[in-house]
Amino acid sequence: MKQNSLVILFTVVFFSIAMGYLESAVVVYLREIYYPEGFAFPLKLMSERVMITEIFRELATLVMLAGIGFIAGRSWLERFGMFLLAFGIWDIFYYVFLYVLLGWPESLFSWDILFLIPTTWVGPVLAPCINALSMIIFGALIWYYQSADKLRPVKLISWLLLAPGSLIVIWAYIQDYVNYLQQEFSLSAIFFPTNPGDLMEYSLQYVPAEFNWWIFWIGQLLIITGIGLWYFSHKGTQRDSQRTQKKAKNHNR
């Protein structure tokens, strides 16, 4: 394994941990202002300026994580892997630092606001941690095979599992919130609001009812299967290479 590859890996890891702290620090400030008694649903009203700032902060975070992946990778697949690795580490350490700074979450089943694009994602802390671990494993495997010059492309069958699986997981996060809003608003009004003030006012009464673990695990299993098929394609190539080498040795005798 090349020394340069290890330097790249540790750079991405330390960057992602630092990003996790930065993210948690922002949340500490927000909770000090809006939730001094502790975070809980229903949500408190934030000004339009703060909400817009939060949405663009989330976009900026994704750009930074994608940026470190782009810089660290040598191929498009490795760049994607480094992005996954950075995202997963960032997400895990975000909760680690929140616990250190605020003593929150109280448990892995504490509800949290996860994302705001294209609508609000909510779920128990355990769920994004599971996703983050999957991303770390996938990203680390891509880095390992690239470093060993054994990286194989992700075949179409794996993408056909990874992409729908990811969308299903996202639906698990937004389903409860969307179902609540649909009592008063259409789907188009939820995702493309013409009266965002009315939507925000109604959303302030939202309290999570249940997280659909069945939908989540269907999506997660599709993701794991997609990663697994790609991983075992390397094992098959390794066996073929060993057979070829063995035949060559026997032939030389």
Task: Determine contact, residues 127/173, Cβ cutoff 8 Å.
Answer: yes
Question: Using alpha carbons only, what angle is made at residue 180 by residues 201 and 87, rounded to the nearest 5 degrees?
Answer: 90
User: pTM to 2 decimals?
Assistant: 0.89
Domain boundaries, the chain: 3-245
- Number of neighbours of residue 131 by Cβ within 10 angstroms: 23
pLDDT of residue 238: 53
- In angstroms, the CA 79 to CA 45 distance is 39
pLDDT of residue 234: 85
- Taking the C-alpha atoms of 132, 97, 35 and 180 in order, what is their torsion angle to the nearest 10 degrees? 10
Q: What is the mean pLDDT of each run of 10 residues along the chain (253 residues)?
A: 81 96 95 91 87 92 95 93 97 97 95 92 97 97 91 94 97 96 91 85 91 97 97 71 50 52
Q: What is the DSSP letter of 97?
A: H
- Burial class of residue 49, CB neighbours in 10 A (0-12, 13-18, 19+): exposed
pLDDT of residue 248: 47
Which residues neighbour 114 within 8 Å (Cβ) at sequence distance 6 or greater? 121, 122, 123, 128, 173
